[in-house]
Amino acid sequence: MNLSLDEKLTLLSGVGFWHTNSLHDKIKHLELSDGPHGLRKQLDGEKEAEPAVCYPTASALACTFDPGIIGRIGDELGKECKEKCVSVLLGPGTNMKRSPLCGRNFEYFSEDPYLAGKMASSFINGVQQNGVGTSLKHFAANSQETHRMRSDSVIDERTLREIYLKAFEMTVKNAQPTTIMASYNLINGKYSCENKWMLTDVLRNEWGYKGIVISDWCACSNLTKSVQAGMDLEMPDSLGIHKECIRKDLENGLITEEEIDAAVNRILEMVEKIGQTESEEATCIRYTMDEFAALDSTKRRHKLAYEAAVNAGVLLKNEDILPFNTTDKICIVGDLAVKTRFQGGGSSHINAVSYPNILECMQDKFTNITFARGYDSFRMEMDERMENEAISLAQDADIILYCGGLTDLAEGEGYDRETLKMPPNQIHLIGKLQELGKKLVFLSFGGAPYEMEGLVNFDAVLHMYLGGEAVAEAAVAILSGLENPSGHLAESWPLHIEDTPAYHNFASREKHVPYTEGIFIGYRHYNSKKIPVQFPFGYGLSYTDFEFDHLMVRKNENGFVASVDVTNTGNRSGKALVQLYVRNCKGDFERADLELRGFEKVTLNPGEKKEVNIEIPMSAFAVYDINAKDWVIPEGEYGICIGKSVEEIELSENVFVEGVKDLSLPKCEPKIPEEDGEAFTITSSFLELAEYSETARQIMDEVTRGIQETYPDKSLEDPFIRMVLETFKDGTADSAAMLNRNLVTYDRILKAIEEANENYKK
């Protein structure tokens, strides 16, 4: 297609927040929409997204250990995108969970790259079979929300390859996502959008990626460097500012038209493949909430959301009290019983149909129910009146069902949690309830692990994570025995924050964040270093029992295959999860003791036996050798282990694997890059600029007031407002202009930077 230079430069930036440029309908365009656990189609200028089905978040879906159900959800999401004229669904989130305190962990699958890669691949294949694109994100090492637009993830290459890039590599090779979203953060001193090694050398040249790379929203502050690195499209539009910058750089010989053409051609190919015309988008039907709720497709998808939530629920403890009897006299305590939390806050927030909460579902199943709020989920402070009411009602019950965990105030996009503990008002209330000496069951919600207060005194614990719009129905179905829980933890639950591998350097206010723990994140850390946890990776109970036996490992042309018999030895049907770990051979280098290399979930009736076969490719034994710049297999004896969790290995058989003899690898040590240039630039934050610039201080005050005026019904502590303010203050000055375009002009930002540099030199 013949395009003018101006048209080419125009295509490199979006239009508004959610569209690519159609050049006045000369070409097709893409409409992008947030996801991934639902469709958040929000038109420019509108505060509320269109109604959509809300599925369990990634943290919950990973606990299903079932790529099949995730593929089905992807398929339905792809169909829903098609119905609503959305070209690209922005997800899935595939970042590794470096610390349980990351505020956005509910959007990510796991601390294990193999599990995350399997889940992401299935999700993407499900969506894209409908002619709709996805955006694998956030590429890469986006491990914290603190300074998320400016923090530098400093990681040695072996750790980067084996942990933080591995799930992305698996997904690119197994699913070829139509787009990949470059993250906000720097990696070893270079912004992800400007990181040629990541976007071109590794992603395209090594992995064979064929799609387009887009920026996270306002992650691109230098369009010239980003295009040269391999990024194709900046989102959202940059008000024409970046376009003029790249035009000047072209005139000055800092970029070539051939480099621009490479990005433009990839965009043209993509919009032709999955894009739409402006007239096609104009015909898209919009539904009211009532109209959407009445659709047969909505009802069908709600059933799938329920099935996924049931499969994701993890029974963490059960001392013969669950399932409940219909005659039990149950006192339900906890604000989350009526304000049931089913999704996280931020850019993935879905405008879902209203469905029954926990209290309503319990009242539908049981006849002898009382209820007290006990605490306010939108506050951290204790309410004595609420507590006293709960204690009074609970005294007359046979069983107390406590509904609690992490509230919207405790976790969300844009900020990290400051503690592993539960909200203080819940801690105090739990202590009072446990003093009653009653049977006590904990129905837990939250997107990430936390210190479960008084765990030893609970008779049962069921954790539902953030289980989507049907989570209340699913939770009560499990509590009542209608459904048998089969979820298993996709992340470790530590005992104390001091035990976590990144404790000393997570979410600090420093720009450079060294990943000194190297490859030892999650269970690789706890298991290898013998650190006790609340609940181990892979852990989950059932209402029936399973037995594993007759492990056989045989060699085949691709590596090995392990077969094991699984028998349901209990008295009801259930789903067994077979987890295959490789116990690594010893060598002259750091390596985790056990690593997940396969899994299979099977349904068994009472007394039924099935043989499960799991392939183990040779890549399961490989490590990344930074000297050879390649994956190599250390020669030695490995254990093929079958477990019910990483700490419950039931069967093991050793195999000898040929490879590199006496391999020696250097220690995983991150190296802080050297700083150069001006003290303050367009990538400095307003918090930094405000220390030296009166103009920056004025802008901060104006934006804060503007946000409050825009959302007069929300306080500064509201999770959404907190995310917006944190993003503004901690993000780059460049991003502040793009995200607050009605409140901040670019000229004033440049003036603030100039002031700050002048005052800093003084």
DSSP 127-191: HHTTT-EEEEEEETT---STTTTT-EEE--HHHIIIIITHHHHHHHHHH--SEEEEPSSEETTEE
Where is average pLDDT lowest: 196-200, 215-219, 244-248, 732-736?
Answer: 732-736
pLDDT for 120: 98
The phi-psi region of residue 304 (left if phi > 0; otherwise alpha if psi is between -120 and 50; otherwise beta) is alpha
Tell me: pLDDT of 55 over 90.
yes
* pLDDT-derived band at 509, boundaries 50, 70, 90: confident
pLDDT for 743: 76
pLDDT for 728: 84
* pLDDT-derived band at 762, boundaries 50, 70, 90: confident
Sheet with 574-583, strands from edge to edge, namely 594-604, 574-583, 636-645, 648-657
Tell me: pLDDT of 117 over 90.
yes
* Contact indicator for 67, 311 with CB cutoff of 8 Å: no
Distance CA 274, CA 62 (A): 28
Distance CA 193, CA 188 (A): 13
Where is average pLDDT lowest: 189-198, 215-224, 720-729?
Answer: 720-729
pTM of the model: 0.96
Greatest alpha-carbon span in the chain = 81
Closest CA to 184 of 225, 223, 150: 150
pLDDT for 716: 76
Angle between helices 424-434 and 384-394 (to 10 degrees): 30
Provide mean pLDDT across the span 697-724. Answer: 84
Closest CA to 220 of 760, 615, 737, 748: 737
Tokens at 16, concatenated? 């508004």
3 state DSSP class of 10: helix
Contacts with 18 (C-beta within 8 Å, 6 or more apart), sequence order: 31, 32, 33, 42, 43, 44, 236
Average pLDDT of the chain is 95
Provide mean pLDDT across the span 399-424. Answer: 93
Which of 75, 216, 383, 734 is catalytic? The answer is 216
Distance CA 338, CA 333 (A): 10
Q: State which H helix or E strand residue 535 sits in.
A: strand 533-535
Q: For 663-675, what is each residue's pLDDT tens digit?
A: 999 998 899 887 7
Tell me: pLDDT of 651 over 90.
yes
Q: Is 216 considered catalytic here?
A: yes
Question: To 5 degrees, how large is the angle CA 362–CA 364–CA 365?
Answer: 65
Tell me: pLDDT of 679 over 90.
no
Tell me: pLDDT of 469 over 90.
yes
The phi-psi region of residue 240 (left if phi > 0; otherwise alpha if psi is between -120 and 50; otherwise beta) is left
As to burial, measured by CB atoms within 10 angstroms (0-12 exposed, 13-18 middle, 19+ buried), residue 467 is buried
Distance CA 532, CA 286 (A): 52
Contacts with 48 (C-beta within 8 Å, 6 or more apart), sequence order: 42, 351
Q: For 352-393, what is each residue's pLDDT tens digit?
A: 999 999 999 999 999 999 999 999 999 999 999 999 999 999
* pLDDT-derived band at 731, boundaries 50, 70, 90: confident
**Hey, what domains does the chain have and what are their CATH numbers?**
5-282 (3.20.20.300), 295-523 (3.40.50.1700), 544-657 (2.60.40.10), 686-761 (no CATH)
Where is average pLDDT lowest: 116-120, 346-350, 364-368, 630-634?
Answer: 346-350
* pLDDT-derived band at 43, boundaries 50, 70, 90: confident
User: What is the Cα gyration radius of the chain?
Assistant: 26
pLDDT for 42: 87
Query: Quick one: what percent of the chain has pLDDT higher than 70?
Result: 100
Closest CA to 263 of 240, 234, 294, 301: 234
pLDDT for 122: 98
Closest CA to 615 of 657, 665, 572, 553: 553
The phi-psi region of residue 744 (left if phi > 0; otherwise alpha if psi is between -120 and 50; otherwise beta) is beta
Tokens at 205, concatenated? 């040249």
